[in-house]
């Protein structure tokens, strides 16, 4: 069974003891409701050979008032069983007041890479993520922290803040875990009806088609126009964005000439899905 830690002091004590034994520390920040995507992060953390801490904290500041904070799935017993089975040494489950004590007045804002995509659709989101991730990194001070490529803009944002704030921790990316039909695993997939779940994998199909076309020299404008039509035909009634951006700064590109990503956020009924795939230029 992992040690259950609910205070910053307790977390720091555990980390200090491991360090005194010469062990490295890997952190996997999560909001719980763990699925195979999270467990891939945990396995990658464990592969470092030191000690692994998983944080479970549903961070209120990354939800807008009209978003699903209250409804966000909370499955603590199930999460702890999965983490015990995976051999995790410690689970950090801070109460909200340990992260945001009375009087808390600091926000970490990352400019630039947060401006478009999710940042445009959900203006509050990255301030909340950047603030809580900065706190978790500073509370734990791990050697490495692991983030999924599924939330690609979040990954780029965390890399930026760790570099900008000289947080001595490596940020490691872990590839997206998909269901057999291609749907990226996400806690929000639980909200899909049977019919929506049938349509959902078409998002990955369209992104993959776009990545191939872009790799063969199609312009972003053409790939996006065709991709949009394919998504609409498939039943995605609302598209928040469908974009082709360079992989590092997330700036839109006209044509793919270096590492890039196709990224999308779409709606099926009341459920918002995001996904992205890499694109490499031909030859």
Question: Using the rule CB under 6 A, is 129 a contact of ligand PAF?
Answer: yes
Only one of the segments 77-85, 126-134, 138-146, 175-183 lies at the binding site for ligand PAF (rule: CB under 6 A); that segment is 126-134
Task: Supply the minimum distance, in Å, between the C-beta of residue 29 and ligand PAF.
Answer: 4
Task: Supply the minimum distance, in Å, between the C-beta of residue 58 and ligand PAF.
Answer: 8
Task: Supply the minimum distance, in Å, between the C-beta of residue 121 and ligand PAF.
Answer: 15
Query: In three state form, how does the secondary structure of the chain look?
Result: CCEEECCHHHHHHHHHHHHHCCCCEEEEEECCCCCHHHHHHHHHHHCCCCEEEEEECCCHHHCCCCCCCCCCCCCHHHHHHHHHHHCCCEEECCCHHHHCCCCCCCCCCCCCCCCCCHHHHCCCHHHHHHHHHHHHHHHHCCCEEEEEHHHHHHHHHHHHHHHHCCCCCEEEEECCCECCCCCECCHHHHHCCHHHHHHCCHHHHHHHHHHHHHHCCCCHHHHHHHHHHHHHHHCCCEEEEEEEEECCCCCECCCCCCCEEEEEEEEECCEEEEEEEEECCCC
Question: Using the rule CB under 6 A, is 29 a contact of ligand PAF?
Answer: yes
Question: Using the rule CB under 6 A, is 31 a contact of ligand PAF?
Answer: yes
32 or 227: CB nearest ligand PAF:
32
Residue among 25, 80, 133, 199 that touches ligand PAF (CB under 6 A): 133
Task: Supply the minimum distance, in Å, between the C-beta of residue 148 and ligand PAF.
Answer: 7
User: Active-site residue 35, yes or no?
Assistant: no
Question: Using the rule CB under 6 A, is 169 a contact of ligand PAF?
Answer: no
Q: Which of residues 140-159 bind ligand PAF (CB under 6 A)?
A: 151, 154
Contacts with ligand PAF by CB under 6 A lie at: 29-31, 59, 62, 129, 132-133, 151, 154
Catalytic residues: 38
């Amino acid at each position: 069974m992992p040690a259950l830690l609910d205070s910053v002091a307790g977390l720091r004590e555990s980390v200090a003891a491991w360090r005194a034994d010469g062990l490295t520390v890997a952190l996997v920040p999560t909001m719980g409701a763990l699925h195979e995507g999270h467990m891939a992060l945990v396995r990658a953390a464990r592969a470092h050979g030191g000690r692994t801490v998983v944080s479970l904290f549903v961070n209120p500041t990354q939800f807008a008032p009209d978003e699903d904070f209250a409804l966000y799935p909370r499955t603590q017993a199930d999460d702890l069983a999965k983490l015990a089975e995976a051999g995790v040494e410690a689970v950090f489950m801070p109460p909200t007041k340990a992260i945001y004590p009375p009087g808390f007045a600091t926000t970490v804002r990352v400019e630039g890479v947060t401006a478009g995509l999710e940042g445009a659709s959900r203006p509050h989101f990255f301030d909340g993520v950047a603030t809580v991730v900065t706190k978790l990194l500073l509370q734990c001070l791990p050697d490495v922290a692991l983030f999924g490529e599924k939330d690609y803009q979040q990954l780029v944002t965390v890399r930026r803040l760790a570099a900008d704030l000289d947080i001595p921790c490596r940020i490691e990316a872990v590839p997206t875990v998909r269901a057999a039909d291609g749907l990226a695993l996400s806690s929000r997939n639980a909200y899909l009806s049977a019919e929506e779940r049938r349509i959902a994998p078409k998002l990955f199909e369209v992104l993959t088609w776009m990545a191939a076309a872009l790799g063969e020299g199609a312009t972003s404008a053409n790939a996006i126009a065709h991709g949009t039509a394919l998504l609409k035909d498939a039943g995605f009634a609302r598209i928040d964005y469908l974009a082709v951006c360079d992989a590092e700064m997330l700036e839109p590109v006209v044509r793919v000439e270096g590492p890039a990503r196709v990224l999308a956020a779409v709606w099926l009924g009341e459920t918002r899905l995001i996904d992205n795939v890499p694109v490499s230029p031909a030859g």
